[in-house]
Amino acid sequence: MRPCGAGTIAALNGSRNSNQLAHPLRASIPVRVRAPARYVRVDDENDGRRIDNFLHSELPEVPRDRLHRLLRRGEVRVDGSRARASRRLRAGETVRIPPVASSPGPKSPGRPPPAGVRRIGGTIVYEDDRLLVLNKPAGLAVHGGSGVSYGVIELLRAARPDARYLELAHRLDRDTSGCLVVAKRPSALRVLHEALRRRALDKRYVALLGGTWKGGVRRRVDLPLERRHLAGGERMVRVSEAGRESVTDLARIAVGSGVTLAEVFPHTGRTHQIRVHCAALGHPVAGDRKYGDRELNLRLRGSGLKRLFLHAASIRIAGPGLPGVIARAELDAGLVAPAVRLGIPEDALARFCPASGGA
What class, spelled out in words, does domain 38-97 have in CATH? alpha beta
How far apart are alpha carbons 320 and 324 in whole angstroms? Answer: 9
Closest CA to 304 of 275, 333, 329: 333
Mean pLDDT of the chain: 85
Per-residue pLDDT averaged across 327-352, rounded? 95
User: Which range has the worst mean pLDDT, 74-88, 144-158, 196-210, 216-230?
Assistant: 144-158
Q: Which among 44, 47, 79, 173 is annotated as catalytic?
A: 173
Q: Which of 108, 170, 115 is nearest to 145 (CA)?
A: 108
310-317/177-183 β-pairing: parallel
Task: Choose between 335 and 64: higher pLDDT.
Answer: 335
**CA-CA distance, 286 to 289, in Å (whole number)?**
9
Give the model confidence (pLDDT) of 237-256 as tens digits: 999 999 999 999 999 999 99
Share of the chain above pLDDT 70, in %: 84
Residue 47 is among the residues annotated as catalytic for this protein? no
DSSP, collapsed to helix, strand or coil, labels residue 350 as helix
Q: Indicate if the pLDDT at residue 259 is higher than 60.
A: yes
CATH number of 196-356: 3.30.2350.10
CATH class of 116-183: alpha beta
What is the per-residue pLDDT for 45?
73
CA distance 352 to 309: 13
Lowest mean pLDDT of 15-29, 42-56, 213-227, 245-259, name the range: 15-29
Would you say the CATH fold of 196-356 matches that of 38-97? no
CA-based nearest residue to 331, from 209, 178, 201: 178
**Cα four-point dihedral sign 225, 229, 231, 234:** positive
Query: What residues does each domain of the chain span?
Result: 38-97, 116-183, 196-356
Residue 228's contacts (CB-CB under 8 Å, 6 or more residues apart) are 235, 236, 237, 238
